[in-house]
Each structure stands twice: as C-alpha cells, then as structure tokens.
C-alpha cells in the first residue's frame, strides 16, 4: 500500500493510472458498439437459403429450425470450422 502511494505521488504513477483507465474505457466502448453491430438480425425477404453459424448452442439451433420452417427456406447452410465440433451430427 505504501509503495502504491509513493508511485501515485509522483507524476508518472498518475499518468500510468490515467492511461490504464483510458484504455479500459476505450475497450468497453469498442466492444459495446461491436456487440450492437454484430447482434443485429435482419432476414432478407423471400430468401431461399438460411445460413447458420456453427458455434450456436442447442437452444439457438432450435430457434434456427423454427425460423427455417417459418420462413419457407429451401436450404439450410451451417458455417463452421473443424474446431466447431460441439454440434452432434444427429442434431443437424
């Protein structure tokens, strides 16, 4: 605690603290704006293909299946990489 007070007393400690607070604030603003950008879903009218990301959890896949039936899609494509192996093949 005493060392922290000594560091904060001199100018460089305050400068470093302000940099850390600024970086944290910047980080929060960027990720909040990315979340709102990436979370938007806007279905295309009269689309024949439903594209689903492979990392989705089981309850999300059920919602995607409901959307597939509701939207009268002809095809469903699941985008995944070899690392995405948590989706059992019998659920697809």
10, 18, 92: which is closest to 54 by C-alpha? 92
| 44 belongs to a structural domain | no
Give the SS3 label for residue 56: coil
pLDDT of residue 21: 93
- The two tokens of residue 17 are 């603290």
**Number of domains the chain contains:** 2
Strands (DSSP E) found in 1-92: 49-53, 75-79
- Shared domain check, 55 and 25: no
- Shared domain check, 85 and 53: yes
| 43 belongs to a structural domain | no
Give the SS3 label for residue 92: coil
- Shared domain check, 86 and 54: yes
Positions of the chain with pLDDT under 70:
1-2, 4-10, 34-40, 81-92
Range of the domain at 25: 2-38
């Amino acid at each position: 605690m005493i060392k922290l007070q000594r560091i904060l007393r001199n100018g460089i400690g305050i400068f470093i603290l302000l940099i850390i607070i600024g970086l944290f604030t910047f980080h929060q603003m960027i990720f909040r704006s990315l979340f709102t950008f990436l979370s938007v879903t806007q279905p295309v009218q009269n689309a024949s293909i439903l594209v689903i990301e492979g990392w989705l959890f089981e309850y999300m896949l059920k919602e995607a299946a409901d959307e597939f039936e509701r939207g009268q899609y002809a095809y469903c494509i699941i985008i995944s990489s070899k690392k995405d192996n948590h989706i059992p093949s019998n659920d697809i």
